[in-house]
Amino acid sequence: MTIAIEVNQLTKKFRTETVLNQLSFKMNEGEKLSIVGPSGSGKSTLLRILAGLENPSHGSIILGGKNVTTIGARKRNIGLVFQQPLLFPHMTVEENIAYGAKVMGGHSKEKTTNLLEAINLTKAKSQFPNELSGGQQQRVALARALATEPDILLLDEPFSSLDPNLRQELRYWVRKLLTNHSITSIFVTHDHEEAMLMGDKIGLFHEGKFQQIASAYDIHNSPANPFVVKFFGNHLL
Ligand code: ADP
Ligand code: MG
């Protein structure tokens, strides 16, 4: 197994607050990790630091065997999808996705066509973002991120602003796309069911660290500590 992500002793402090506290973990290539944890526990900070949008106070990040701790976001080949789709409003669906492909150079036309098909929006390719539903917009954001051919995709509560039906639909699309592309992914969510569905493993983040990273089954059968039991309650039955 090739290690895609290796985080060693990662610490992040904002003034007096320690948000990441000597955090260490590893992920294999193609692995899918869901992260849950209390609000304000540092989940988004961890993703931003992995993506290179923020610097850690201490520690190292090794991606695909390469130490990227001091390397900028553009050179990390990581895709990011946020809660808000953040599409370019003046570009069509097709242009938004092609933009992602162009960032990486190469033959963008075929890639864009395939991604449009994969997110089932071929018919909407000439529409602008404000003509799409929230779920459709989020699908375009995902396709745009995938168009850059990232080694790693980070998703920070990407479905949080969508209604329950759309969430269901999107889980299906995203899971399928991630599996087809065998991308290493981290999916942050506050929905326990979604965490189980989107990840091979679930990591519970609290007090600057993972309290446990394991399959839903293992967390249920052998929770690492009382906090894990309390956090999940009956949700993992
Ligand atoms: P989560 O995504 O788990 O809700 P965040 O990573 O957004 O948590 O935030 C973790 C903590 O770090 C919070 O207390 C937040 O206020 C603080 N924090 C996040 N970003 C900054 C920043 N740029 N400056 C100061 N404090 C920050
Ligand atoms: Mg967050």
Model confidence at 118, pLDDT cuts 50, 70, 90, reads confident
The CA distances from residue 102 to 94, 141, 161, in Å, are 12, 15, 29
Q: Is the pLDDT of residue 234 over 70?
A: no
- What ligand 1 atom has the least distance to the C-alpha of 39? 4
* Mean pLDDT over the full length of the chain: 92
Longest dimension (CA), the chain: 52
| CA angle 54–76–58, rounded 5-degree value | 40
237: number of Cβ within 10 Å: 7
Dihedral sign of CA atoms 162, 163, 166, 172 in order: positive
pLDDT of amino acid 180: 85
Q: Is the pLDDT of residue 102 over 80?
A: no
pLDDT of amino acid 45: 97
Distance 7 CA to ligand 1 centre (A): 19
Residue nearest to atom 16 of ligand 1 (CA): 40
Q: Which amino acid is at 213?
A: I
Which ipTM was obtained for this model? 0.98
The CA distances from residue 164 to 46, 138, 186, in Å, are 27, 14, 21
Residue nearest to atom 1 of ligand 1 (CA): 40
Q: Judge if the beta carbon of residue 234 lies within 6 A of ligand 1.
A: no
pLDDT in tens, 13-69: 999 999 999 999 999 999 999 999 999 999 999 999 999 999 999 999 999 999 999
58: number of Cβ within 10 Å: 13
Which residue, chain included where needed, has tokens 């929006």? 121
pLDDT of amino acid 165: 82
